[in-house]
């Protein structure tokens, strides 16, 4: 049934004026009426649209290699930025219909002029139904800069009523509160649920404040305890993100050099690696190497796979290098916790694949340069939740809800999928 619905409405993604062959018409069905035909079919949710990838297989106008721009937004022929934002759930494959359900919504909850206060480390605290997140540590547009970057914030999801979620722009209707962690998490960048508390990864500051892993009490007074800050006496580069292996409870984490390329940490003194930490025994060990910038990291719900994003294309103050990875890799996770069979899972554009999270069915969601892109477990792009701007990270809040951090914008999403939370098991 879903396939039929998709077929009869797919024509909306076709360029105006593009000639359709007989085969095209049978694929689209005779109902195709060009752009705008969607409004006649209630099977496609009101905030969704089909993007037909065949409409841009041949462009004659792709940007030359002498002027590459892996950060540029791409509008398929027949669409505009406005039409893409207008119906932000982009169906690339019918599988996406089950993920978004009949009435997905995207709502702007707050925004700033230029200060990137909605950046990373979104983590849900189910007991109080709150979403915590952090500001951008190194960005030049960050108001008071690094002094402000230690600020963790939160919103109460119970205050996001259905009436609010039904609006596209509900800016200002939900309170954004600062959380003063004590002692402060220094330049937090990643977070995950761990043993009923929140685990933050701090990037460190200057020569002497080492990157560290902090456990934070999710209740006032938000006291923290550092649980790791070195490997046999050597500082990490700038800890970025973590995920809990649901089979052995160990913390797997990434250590790129974003502190250095944003001028708040010294030059790298370690390879850029994925590590694992067994808090019970204290053992720290490398889990994988061979990255340019290991970044987002997430286990599949059953722990059989580990996904790691490499955002090497983004070198922060050193610009973008479009011949570097913008890539998600997938490993098989062995029973003993070792990783093998690194597979190239997805190459992403525009921007880089940053925060990674999975739903309970194993679909992979990733924060990219144009919003969240959603890949099925075979690495097929099935859809996008399109914001039209850099959306570094996001997080599920259980079933059917998601919070998206798009630097100067904070969004709330409703959809059918449910987030997988390996970290809650430990
Ligand atoms: C959302 O509404 C606010 C006013 O409440 C306005 O300032 C802002 O420009 C709107 N944003 C968008 C993207 O429409
Ligand atoms: C954003 O949230 C803050 C804190 O709740 C509030 O003071 C501000 O008015 C909000 N701004 C917008 C544009 O939503
Ligand atoms: C917070 O403080 C309480 C009371 O001293 C303590 O039991 C708890 O372990 C602390 N939590 C963290 C994460 O430091
Ligand atoms: C990108 O990386 C390649 C390979 O290291 C290097 O040759 C090139 O100079 C880099 N370009 C930029 C703009 O950094």
Tell me whether residue 134 is in a domain: yes
Write down the pLDDT at residue 204: 93
Supply the DSSP symbol for 223.
B
Distance from residue 117's CA to the centre of ligand 3 (Å): 27
In the predicted model, is pLDDT for residue 101 greater than 50? yes
| Ligand 1 pocket: which of 171, 389, 406 to mutate (most atoms within 8 A of CB) | 171
Tell me whether residue 423 is in a domain: no
Write down the pLDDT at residue 63: 86
Q: How many Cα atoms are found within 13 Å in the side-chain-facing hemisphere of 177?
A: 13
Residue matched to tokens 């990674």: 356
pLDDT tens, position by position, 328-339: 999 999 999 999
Say if ligand 4 is within 6 A of residue 317 CB: no
Query: Rounded to an integer, what distance in angstroms lies between the CA atom of residue 382 and that of residue 335?
Result: 30
Q: How many CB atoms lie within 10 A of CB 248?
A: 16
Write down the pLDDT at residue 36: 37
In this structure, the answer to whether residues 119 and 14 fall within a common structural domain is no
Q: Please state the atom number of ligand 4 nearest to the C-alpha of residue 318.
A: 14
Write down the pLDDT at residue 146: 58
Tell me whether residue 105 is in a domain: yes
Say if ligand 3 is within 6 A of residue 215 CB: yes
Tell me whether residue 323 is in a domain: yes
The bridge status of strand 327-333 relative to strand 339-347 is: antiparallel
Write down the pLDDT at residue 28: 34
Domain that holds residue 252: 100-418
In this structure, the answer to whether residues 245 and 393 fall within a common structural domain is yes
Distance from residue 110's CA to the centre of ligand 2 (Å): 6
In the predicted model, is pLDDT for residue 316 greater than 50? yes
Tell me whether residue 39 is in a domain: yes
pLDDT tens, position by position, 200-252: 999 999 999 999 999 999 999 999 999 999 999 999 999 999 999 999 999 99
In this structure, the answer to whether residues 281 and 362 fall within a common structural domain is yes
Query: Rounded to an integer, what distance in angstroms lies between the CA atom of residue 362 and that of residue 149?
Result: 33
User: Cβ-count burial of 163 within 10 angstroms (0-12 exposed, 13-18 middle, 19+ buried)?
Assistant: exposed
Q: Which residues pair with 133 in a beta bridge?
A: 153
pLDDT tens, position by position, 344-401: 999 999 999 999 999 999 999 999 999 999 999 999 999 999 999 999 999 999 999 9
In this structure, the answer to whether residues 144 and 276 fall within a common structural domain is yes
In this structure, the answer to whether residues 189 and 78 fall within a common structural domain is no
For residue 243, give the CATH number of its domain.
2.120.10.30
In this structure, the answer to whether residues 295 and 324 fall within a common structural domain is yes
Tell me whether residue 163 is in a domain: yes
Say if ligand 4 is within 6 A of residue 321 CB: yes
384 within 8 A of 374, measured Cβ to Cβ: yes
Distance from residue 325's CA to the centre of ligand 4 (Å): 12
In this structure, the answer to whether residues 25 and 146 fall within a common structural domain is no
**Helix, strand, coil: what percent of the chain each, to 5?**
15, 35, 50
Q: pTM of the prediction?
A: 0.90
Write down the pLDDT at residue 141: 67
In the predicted model, is pLDDT for residue 176 greater than 90? yes
Tell me whether residue 158 is in a domain: yes
Query: Rounded to an integer, what distance in angstroms lies between the CA atom of residue 365 and that of residue 99?
Result: 11
Distance from residue 313's CA to the centre of ligand 4 (Å): 10
Distance from residue 219's CA to the centre of ligand 3 (Å): 10
In the predicted model, is pLDDT for residue 21 greater than 80? no
Q: Phi/psi class of residue 249: alpha, beta or left (left: φ > 0; alpha: ψ in -120 to 50)?
A: left
| Ligand 2 pocket: which of 115, 172, 405 to mutate (most atoms within 8 A of CB) | 172
């Amino acid at each position: 049934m879903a396939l039929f619905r998709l077929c009869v409405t797919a024509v909306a993604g076709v360029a105006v004026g593009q000639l359709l062959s007989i085969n095209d018409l049978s694929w689209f069905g005779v109902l195709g009426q060009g752009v705008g035909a969607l409004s006649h079919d209630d099977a496609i949710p009101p905030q969704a649209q089909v993007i037909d990838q065949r409409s841009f297989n041949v462009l004659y106008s792709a940007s030359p290699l002498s002027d590459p721009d892996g950060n540029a937004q791409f509008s398929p022929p027949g669409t505009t930025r406005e039409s893409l934002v207008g119906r932000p759930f982009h169906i690339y494959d019918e599988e996406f219909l089950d993920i978004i359900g009949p009435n997905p919504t995207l709502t702007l909850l707050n925004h700033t002029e230029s200060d990137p206060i909605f950046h990373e480390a979104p983590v849900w605290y189910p007991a109080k139904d709150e979403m915590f997140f952090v500001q951008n540590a190194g960005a030049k547009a960050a108001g008071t800069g690094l002094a402000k970057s230690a600020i963790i914030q939160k919103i109460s999801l119970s205050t996001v009523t259905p009436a609010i979620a039904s609006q596209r722009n509900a800016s200002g209707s939900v309170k954004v509160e600062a959380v003063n962690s004590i002692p402060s998490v220094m330049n937090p960048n990643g977070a995950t649920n761990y043993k009923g508390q929140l685990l933050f990864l701090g990037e460190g500051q200057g020569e002497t404040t080492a990157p560290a892993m902090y456990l934070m009490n999710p209740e006032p007074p938000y006291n923290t305890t550092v649980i790791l800050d070195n490997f046999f006496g050597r500082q990490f580069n700038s800890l970025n993100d973590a995920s809990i292996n649901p089979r052995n409870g160990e913390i797997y984490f990434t250590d790129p050099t974003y502190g250095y390329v944003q001028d708040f940490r010294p030059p790298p003194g370690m390879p850029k690696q994925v590590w694992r930490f067994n808090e019970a025994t204290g053992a720290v060990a490398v889990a994988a190497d061979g990255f340019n910038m290991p970044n987002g990291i997430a286990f599949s719900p059953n722990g059989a796979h580990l996904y790691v994003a490499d955002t090497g294309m983004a070198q922060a103050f050193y610009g973008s290098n479009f011949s570097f990875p913008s890539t998600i890799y997938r490993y098989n996770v062995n029973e003993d916790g070792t990783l093998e069979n690194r597979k190239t899972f997805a190459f992403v554009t525009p921007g880089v694949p940053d925060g990674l999270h999975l739903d309970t069915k194993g679909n992979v969601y990733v924060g990219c340069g144009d919003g969240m892109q959603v890949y099925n477990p075979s690495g097929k792009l099935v859809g996008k939740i399109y914001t039209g701007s850099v959306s570094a990270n996001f997080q599920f809040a259980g079933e059917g809800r998601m919070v998206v951090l798009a630097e100067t914008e904070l969004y709330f999403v409703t959809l059918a999928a449910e987030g997988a939370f390996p970290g809650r098991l430990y």
